[in-house]
Structure 1
Amino acid sequence: MFVRLVSVLCLVLLAPAAFAACAGSDLRATLSDQEQVRLQDVVQDAPFPEGNHWRATRGDSTLHLIGTMHLSDPRLDGPVERLRDTIESADLLLLEMTDEDKAALQQSLTSDPSLLMMPDTTLPEILSEEDWAKMSDALTARGMPPFMAARFQPWYVSVILAVPPCAAAPDLAAGGMDARLEAIARTADVPRAALEDVSTIFAAFADQPRDTQIDMMLSALVDPTTSEDLFATLLASYFDENHAEGWAVSALLAERYSPIDPSAAAAIFATMEQELLIDRNRAWIPVLLAAAQEHDLVVAAFGAAHLPGTDGVLALLQDEGFALERLSF
């Protein structure tokens, strides 16, 4: 389940999904007193806990940092239009992955299926009969025939299961915020570039030991109603611009609903936080600094979970001498 939470916040999914068909409830209102105390312990001292749009300035360098979500939602219409002038006036738009990167990735996966396939075994062989039956039902609900997924790497199955059945059908025309901002830049002839190599996210998953990948996969086996509620909670915190809270709530809910041992879920959550957020944040800083030195106005748009916290992009830029100002979203 924690992979679902990480995926929504951090991943450019191969096929953006439309969440409008889902009807989950925001679970933040269900937190117990103990969970509320734990939540406050995490967020009360977190740097830059809120805000989807920030301006960072140092000398003549200006960076606009935009926290995005990678799934399509009609509530994005307003923010995208309000950001249009910022994108159109930029000298460079930096993204986690450009359209060209996505096309190259799709081509690599098509030409080399081993990137996603286990060469030595199948999921029915490594799972219990009961777990494979549950997995088969979950895959079928997302339009994936189990026999086709039987040789998938466990980490890849966890990403498939990251999106609940109600949002599994792709809506490529609408796209998430990243796709919409990139479309504006393309129309305005604003140069675009990636913050990292396209293989970075895949390596963070694929390099995990198989036992860890299996735990990741099994943790995604929650019932559809809970799955929708988890999505609704994440999206609500995004549109509230409460990212530190959203991430901390995600960790609490991972423990609450995990089908695997809560301590194992917490350990894996921490590992993925390190590799999908913290390590990538630190790797992006030299890219952002170089871009700011070469261009007058740079816009960087990436998953909102990368913004807050001691190891967030905003705090890391502040450490580099940038002044931060929250702007309207």
Structure 2
Amino acid sequence: MIRTLLACLALAGLATMAQAACEGRDLRSTLTATERQTLAVAVAATPYPAGNRWRATRGGDVIEILGTVHLDDPRLAGPAARLRPLVRDAGLVLLEMTETERADLMRAMQSDPTLLVLDDTTLPELMEEDDWQRLSDAARARGLPPFMVARFRPWYVAMLLSFPPCLKAELAEQNGFDAQIESMAREAGTPLRALEPYDTAFRAFDRVPRAAQLDMMLTSLTDAGTSEDQLATLLAAYFDEDHAAGWIVNEILAPRTGVLEGEAAEAAFATLTEALLDARNRAWIPRIEEAAAATDAPVLAAFGAAHLHGEAGVLNLLDEAGWTLERQRF
């Protein structure tokens, strides 16, 4: 589950995915009857569990809402073609980050290494020797020298390891769905704006207690096959427009990894969810509403699909604020 969160929220290295390079399977097909029932009950209890595209209206204001995936995929071709007119005709496109914020973030990382680097210790000093050796092996599989990884903050290592080794050769380009939407907007001359400051997610990660960061890092130490399966499950659920199911299924299957279970896993996940999803969602709502009120044409808000569902999901928060929501064709 934590791996899914990291894959959805990684800010660096979100890149073109060559489907031929990764051969993971959709883990939903492996669920037992009991696990399927657990999933069905959990999804049914989740507000707005499905649908990648929605329209919110209140008075004369219109917000077009798009849940994205931060990796490229051939299956995006159809939705991208259908959404091009929507991007062209929008009065404003809101994204998690635009080219401007990405450039600001790169400058900040170069000028302030402590954004990513531990300044008071190293990972081998914080970990059991066996865990450090496992981490070193996982880093090498992704072309990362362990001596460098030893100085990184645990949350950043967890992010780096959230993608399977099969993606290593493809992590040079940035062409996720968010980037494609941004390119469409620039081609059409549609104004762009970020939903938050460039370092919001980085600061949110850093506010997570170090012990929880280490726990989430350990959950990333799954074998290559499991890693590929988890990514395949996330993407398959996205294209089925079942984003809540793709999220919840990984929590149901977490005991299979045997890395972090029980209360420790639940606590780490709750902390991350609040910092990286729920708190950001709540901060986005007034920005989205203000943009809609100030723009004659509809506003298009596009962000990771993980932000759509749940009590503190963007859709439910808009519903509670008096917006009428209608699912649209993705």
Q: TM-score range by the shorter chain?
A: over 0.9
Q: What is the distance in 1 between the residues matched to 2:120 and 2:172?
A: 34
C-alpha change, 1:44 and 1:261, in structure 2 (3 Å) is: closer
Aligned pairs, number: 328
Q: What is the distance in 1 between the residues matched to 2:147 and 2:189?
A: 44
- Residues 1:298 and 2:289 are matched in the alignment: no
Give the TM-score normalised by the residue count of structure 2. Answer: 0.95
**Is the partner of 2:90 in helix, strand or coil?**
coil
Contact 2:13 2:171 in 1 (8 A): no
Mapping of residues 151-166 of structure 1, within 5 Å: 151-166=151-166
C-alpha change, 1:258 and 1:306, in structure 2 (3 Å) is: farther
Contact 1:281 1:311 in 2 (8 A): yes
Q: Counterpart of 1:50?
A: 50
**Is the partner of 1:168 in helix, strand or coil?**
helix
Contact 2:215 2:260 in 1 (8 A): yes
The residue identity in structure 2 corresponding to 1:298 is V
Q: What is the distance in 2 between the residues matched to 1:15 and 1:244?
A: 21
- Structure 1 residue 18: deviation in Å? 1.6
Mapping of residues 66-215 of structure 1, within 5 Å: 66-173=66-173, 175-215=175-215
Contact 1:219 1:260 in 2 (8 A): yes
Q: What is the distance in 1 between the residues matched to 2:128 and 2:204?
A: 26
CA RMSD of aligned residues (A): 1.6
- Structure 1 residue 174: deviation in Å? 5.9
The residue identity in structure 2 corresponding to 1:235 is L
Q: Which ranges of structure 1 fall in alignment gaps of 5 or more residues?
A: none
Contact 2:14 2:71 in 1 (8 A): no
Contact 2:24 2:230 in 1 (8 A): yes
**Is the partner of 1:169 in helix, strand or coil?**
helix
Q: What is the distance in 2 between the residues matched to 1:212 and 1:307?
A: 25
Q: Counterpart of 1:3?
A: 2
- Structure 1 residue 126: deviation in Å? 2.1
Render the CA deviation track for 1:46-74: whole Å, top value 9, x for unaligned.
22221111111111111100000001111
- Structure 1 residue 173: deviation in Å? 4.5
Contact 2:155 2:205 in 1 (8 A): yes
The residue identity in structure 2 corresponding to 1:110 is Q
The residue identity in structure 2 corresponding to 1:162 is S
**Matched-pair identity in %:** 50
Bigger CA drift: 112-121 or 89-98?
112-121
Contact 1:88 1:188 in 2 (8 A): yes
- Structure 1 residue 251: deviation in Å? 1.8
**Is the partner of 1:147 in helix, strand or coil?**
helix
Q: What is the distance in 1 between the residues matched to 2:137 and 2:7?
A: 22
Render the CA deviation track for 1:268-327: whole Å, top value 9, x for unaligned.
112211222211111111011100100121000001111122221111111222111111
Bigger CA drift: 93-102 or 248-257?
248-257
Give the TM-score normalised by the residue count of structure 1. Answer: 0.95
The residue identity in structure 2 corresponding to 1:113 is P
Contact 2:16 2:72 in 1 (8 A): yes
